[in-house]
Amino acid sequence: MKEPPETGAADAAAKDPADAADVEWMRRALEEGHKGHPSPNPHVGALVVKDGAIVGVGFHARAGEVHAEGAALAAAGEKAEGATLYITLEPCNHFGKTPPCTDAIIAAKVARVVIGCSDPNPNVAGGGIERLRAAGVEVTTFVCEAEAQRLIAPWSKYVTQGLPYVSLKLALSLDGRIATRSGASKWVTGPDARARVHALRAQHDAVAIGIGTALADDPRLTVRDAMGASPVRVVFDTKLRLPPASRLVETAVDVQTWVICNADASTAAEETLTSRGVEVLRAPSSAEGRIDVAAALRLLAARSIVTLMVEGGAELAGSFLASRLADELHAFLAPSLLGPRGRPGAVDWAGPATPADAPHIAEPTWELVGKDAHVYGPLVYP
């Protein structure tokens, strides 16, 4: 994150907000910010408040469309004059697909702007806060800053590191198995958990699996049991073994499907897949001869993939954890035992030397989903 600008007395007080009303309104703006699918832009919410009442709300619905503050100001109309605008992210002060939001705020004659967090984008001149102050607008910063930064965490990683934000999903039994001794894995978890997974897919730009999962399960990886569009489907397939008759290839003309292989993979196999609508991306190999995960992620980010959900299998999950590139974990735990001769655990990697070294969810959320448990949260690597 870039250093925050110099602050005045009002801003200094807002770092430890004493105004409960500001906190309440900002949290309402954060609720708005979770709406829409603005990728590759950030999630942003805005609220216009006047005389203790909401007169306009807005969120950034899609890239290229009006930004959150513009939507909230438009909803408020003339009531925006003299009002307070709550915005979860510092307003932009540059021309992109839309004009600077600072201009719209100044033109609306808003008296005060309350900001959740500053803009972390190093490629943008920024200066939204300074621009507003220079125009005589009172600015209060860093109200609910941690929540505001969490809202833009995927986009923040994307613009500062050039990598997608990775959510790792695991489905396993109580004894840590992902399939029975015969290899059967449908279904370890119940229908409610599977519906939750479909809802998670719809929240991501892309969903990825390894070739082992593609061969064993022949999945579709589409969104069917929840509202939302299907994400781009990605297969990590070092040697291009994905069968042309697989459901992923057969539906590639309807849902974008990308296969990542290494430089030595068969050109004939590539031609077969591309003729059926699959896009083949080549990435360098790791020391173990697999696809270099970090290089593959950079390829995806270059194609505007901000959020990536990794669903399987064990080797791919292990590669992401070993590389410390998984940002968030979603584990679905079924109340069943598949036995010691069941397939190996959900993650295939060397693992930590001690429990203290283990990656973990610092503040996990536990929820019952049907008969299964869903535990999730950002990962911490000691």
pLDDT digits (tens, 9 = 90+) for 229-288: 999 999 999 999 999 999 999 999 999 999 999 999 999 999 999 999 999 999 999 888
| Residue 19 vs residue 186, higher pLDDT | 19
d(CA 248, CA 242) in angstroms, rounded, equals 9
Distance CA 314, CA 212 (A): 9
Q: Model confidence at 186, in pLDDT bands (50, 70, 90)?
A: confident
Token duo for residue 356: 């203290």
Is the pLDDT score of 14 beyond 60? no
Report phi then psi at 307, rounded to 5: -125, 130
Identity of residue 291: I
| Per-residue tokens: 68 | 């959150």
The arithmetic mean of pLDDT across residues 293-317, rounded, is: 95
pLDDT of residue 95: 73
Distance (Å, whole) CA 43 – CA 60: 6
- pLDDT for residue 180: 81
Q: Which residue has the tokens 């001149």?
A: 125
pLDDT bracket for residue 158 (50, 70, 90) = very high
What average pLDDT does the segment 113-131 reach? Answer: 88
Q: Please say if the pLDDT value at position 7 is more than 70.
A: no
Residue 4 pLDDT more than 70? no
Q: Assign residue 343 a region: left if phi > 0, alpha if psi is -120 to 50, beta otherwise? A: beta
pLDDT number for residue 171: 93
Q: For residue 257, which amino acid is it?
A: T
Backbone angles phi, psi at 131, to 5 degrees: -65, -40
Q: Is 152 exposed, middle or buried (0-12, 13-18, 19+ CB in 10 A)?
A: buried
Specify the long-range contacts of residues 366-370, CB closer than 8 Å, at least 24 apart. 369/190, 369/192, 369/193, 369/196, 369/332, 370/190, 370/191, 370/192, 370/193
Per mean pLDDT, which range of 176-180, 204-208, 248-252, 282-286 is the poorest?
176-180
Is pLDDT of 2 > 50?
A: no
Mean pLDDT score, 87-116: 91
Lowest mean pLDDT among 49-53, 270-274, 310-314, 353-357: 310-314
pLDDT tens by residue, 23-46: 999 999 999 999 999 999 999 999
Mean pLDDT, rounded, for 166-186: 87
Confirm if 22 and 14 have CB atoms less than 8 A apart: yes
Q: Is 138 a catalytic residue?
A: no
Cα separations in angstroms, 343 against 68, 183, 188, 337, 353: 47, 6, 12, 12, 23
- What does the pLDDT read at residue 339? 83
Please check whether residue 164 is in contact with residue 293, taking contact to mean a CB–CB distance below 8 angstroms: no
pTM value? Answer: 0.90
Mean pLDDT, the chain, as a whole number? 91
Q: Which residue in 3, 24, 32, 69 is the catalytic one? A: 69
